[in-house]
Chain A
Amino acid sequence: MFENELTLLETENYKQIKELSKEDEKLINNIMKRMSIFKINSYDAQVVKRDLIGMAQEQKLNGSSLKDAIGDDVSGFTDEIIKNSEGPCIKEIILNYMSSLSGYFFIWFIPAFLVYGNSPYRIHPVLLLFYFGSATTAFIAEGLLSPIFCTEKGNKKYLETIIFILIASVWGILYLLT
């Protein structure tokens, strides 16, 4: 298997985070969700994750938690890190989008191919439009919506799900109408 610095860092972080308390693990995962690939590149995000794990371990040794170290304004803390980072990597965003498209290809086309027994877009060309539409919607929702609401408290954190359901419903209605 090929391993680069990023995958090594991801593997190490995956192992280390499991040794933290559930509360710290959840907090780090929420911070990472807010660091979308639209705002910070994956390598920088993993470096931040390693630092946060180190911070949590240090706090644990001193009988405290990561939440005590960061304070209540988790969103502000994360945004400040994003602001001071190198920013996103366009190539990475494109590759992720292509990966999302290929994932959706299997969801949309393989079942349709099995049902129709032919290339489905020839039978129903609108399928192609919905294929790109749903893949793009999911990609944007995951990359832009999720990071906004993941560190929110109370009912605000459910807004992401509500908005996603609304967008999916619009696509569903459009599909039924065509």
Chain B
Amino acid sequence: MVDRSQLMRGTLEGCIVKIISQEETYGYEIVSRLQQYGFDDVKEGTTYPILVRLERKKLISSVYKESPLGPKRKYYFLTKSGKDFLREFELVWNDVKQSVDRIIRGA
């Protein structure tokens, strides 16, 4: 059986960086966005360690901001290295996607 989580592991990092590149956002919203795009089984338990890793690699940075609903939220935004990473990820992903597609179609 195909291990979906294993397959997702590498791509999720790039997807999160892409979502953060669109606008400053916080953990819960990132998960909601991923679920809207079809990553139904993604939880904050999946994304938080990735966000920690991205922050350590200095691809993203964060700031606490007041929330209109209650507690302060940690907002993530992309750094210069993050923008470079995203460009590279998009190129690599397109290559991988095309290769896999060609194999699956048997072309």
* Interface mask (B27-63 → A, CB under 8 Å = 1, otherwise 0): 1100000000000000111101110110010000000
Give chain A residues whose Cβ lies under 8 Å from the Cβ of B28: 55, 58-59, 62
Using a CB–CB distance below 8 Å, which chain B residues touch chain A? 26-28, 43-46, 48-50, 52-53, 56, 69-74
Q: Determine if A86 is an interface residue (Cβ-Cβ < 8 Å).
A: yes
Give chain B residues whose Cβ lies under 8 Å from the Cβ of A61: 69-70
A70-B43, A70-B45 given as contacts; is B69 within 8 A of A84 (CB)? no
Q: Is the CB of A84 within 8 A of B74?
A: no
Give chain B residues whose Cβ lies under 8 Å from the Cβ of A58: 26-28, 71, 73
Pairs across A and B, CB under 8 Å, 6 listed: A51-B27, A55-B44, A57-B70, A59-B28, A73-B45, A80-B49
In the complex, how many angstroms separate the beta carbon of A79 from the nearest chain B beta carbon?
9
A57-B71, A84-B56 given as contacts; is B27 within 8 A of A77 (CB)? no
The prevalent SS among residues of B at the interface is: helix
Q: Determine if A115 is an interface residue (Cβ-Cβ < 8 Å).
A: no
* Interface mask (A79-94 → B, CB under 8 Å = 1, otherwise 0): 0110111100000000
Give chain A residues whose Cβ lies under 8 Å from the Cβ of B53: 84
In the complex, how many angstroms separate the beta carbon of B24 from the nearest chain A beta carbon?
16
The prevalent SS among residues of A at the interface is: helix
Q: Is the CB of A86 within 8 A of B56?
A: yes
Q: How large is the interface on A (under 10, 10 to 19, 20 to 34, 35 or more residues)?
A: 20 to 34
Q: Is the CB of B71 within 8 A of A77?
A: no
Give chain A residues whose Cβ lies under 8 Å from the Cβ of B69: 61
Q: Is the CB of A77 within 8 A of B74?
A: no
- Complex Cα distance, B9 from A104, in Å, reads 46
Q: Could you say which of A48, A54, A59, A70 contacts B72, with CB atoms under 8 Å apart?
A: A54
The chain A residue sitting closest to B32, CB to CB, is A62
In the complex, how many angstroms separate the beta carbon of B28 from the nearest chain A beta carbon?
5
- Complex Cα distance, B56 from A111, in Å, reads 48
Q: Determine if A63 is an interface residue (Cβ-Cβ < 8 Å).
A: no
Q: Is the CB of B52 within 8 A of A55?
A: no
Give chain B residues whose Cβ lies under 8 Å from the Cβ of A68: 43
In the complex, how many angstroms separate the beta carbon of B77 from the nearest chain A beta carbon?
16
Q: Is the CB of A84 within 8 A of B52?
A: yes
Q: Is the CB of B48 within 8 A of A51?
A: yes
Give chain B residues whose Cβ lies under 8 Å from the Cβ of A73: 45
In the complex, how many angstroms separate the beta carbon of A62 from the nearest chain B beta carbon?
7
The chain B residue sitting closest to A48, CB to CB, is B52
